Amino acid sequence: MGKTLRTQFMDHMILHRFSPWTIKNYMATMKRLAKFYNKSPDLITNEQIQDYLLYLLEERKLSWGTCNVHLSGMSCFYKKVLKWDEAKFKLPPRQRIKKLPNILSVEEVKRLFECTTNIKHRVLLKTVYSAGLRISEVVRLKPIHIESDPSRMMIRIEQGKGKKDRYTVLSKYLLDELRDYWRKYKPSKWIFPGYNKEKHIGYTAARGAFIKAKKKPV
């Protein structure tokens, strides 16, 4: 008996080392598409897929970025699993609105730290600002990524944006903060673990710590 389409899709993504987040969302995308038309994905046409994308964008009012995740998941399935030579469905061009980044002042960053009472969250935020990390990068830090030898003083980022490895500077100030945090909490696999110590703190929880501190009154 041959593999189901679901299994084929899952095997393809695992084989090509898709992230758990991508696998979860791509699988959910195909499940929703099949449910919308109440038929197997291999029986859905190009035109129907295009109509579904427009439905998500215009009637469900999902953001362009969210719709693009759906588009990417469906494109991957139909091109890699069903071997379609051409997938004609697409999204209209995204409207570009240029905004200047919201840069916090030194005083605002200091206040942010002072408003964060949870030590793990405070050190996490200090690591973000001191080392210039993204939230998605800081949550995946492991002890082996901290190169504290005086001749190095670097933090290694594995599979950052674009799935590229890179290094960033480890300041003496941040190293002292991390060491103090380490002595108190003694994390093992991850520097910033979640409730389940075998898993790192989630992106949502880390971002929530920032938002909570930012909203606290002076």
Classify domain 106-215 at the CATH topology level: hpI Integrase; Chain A (1.10.443)
Q: What is the pLDDT of residues 21-47, one digit of tens each?
A: 999 999 999 999 999 999 999 999 989
Is the pTM for the entire model greater than 0.85? no
Tokens at 8, concatenated: 């084929």
Q: What is the pLDDT of residues 142-195, one digit of tens each?
A: 999 999 998 889 999 886 566 678 899 999 999 999 999 999 888 889 999 998
Tokens at 173, concatenated: 């100030």
> How far lies 184's CA from each of 92, 146, 180, in Å?
52, 18, 7
Q: Say what the pLDDT of residue 161 is.
A: 60
Judge contact between 138 and 127, C-beta under 8 A. Answer: yes
Q: Return the CATH superfamily for domain 5-81.
A: Tyrosine recombinase, N-terminal domain (1.10.150.130)
Domain ranges of the chain: 5-81, 106-215
DSSP 3-state of 145: helix
Listed in sequence order, the DSSP H helices in 38-81 are 46-54, 64-76
90 vs 192, which has greater pLDDT?
192
Judge contact between 89 and 74, C-beta under 8 A. Answer: yes
Q: What is the pLDDT of residues 96-114, one digit of tens each?
A: 655 645 666 778 778 878 8
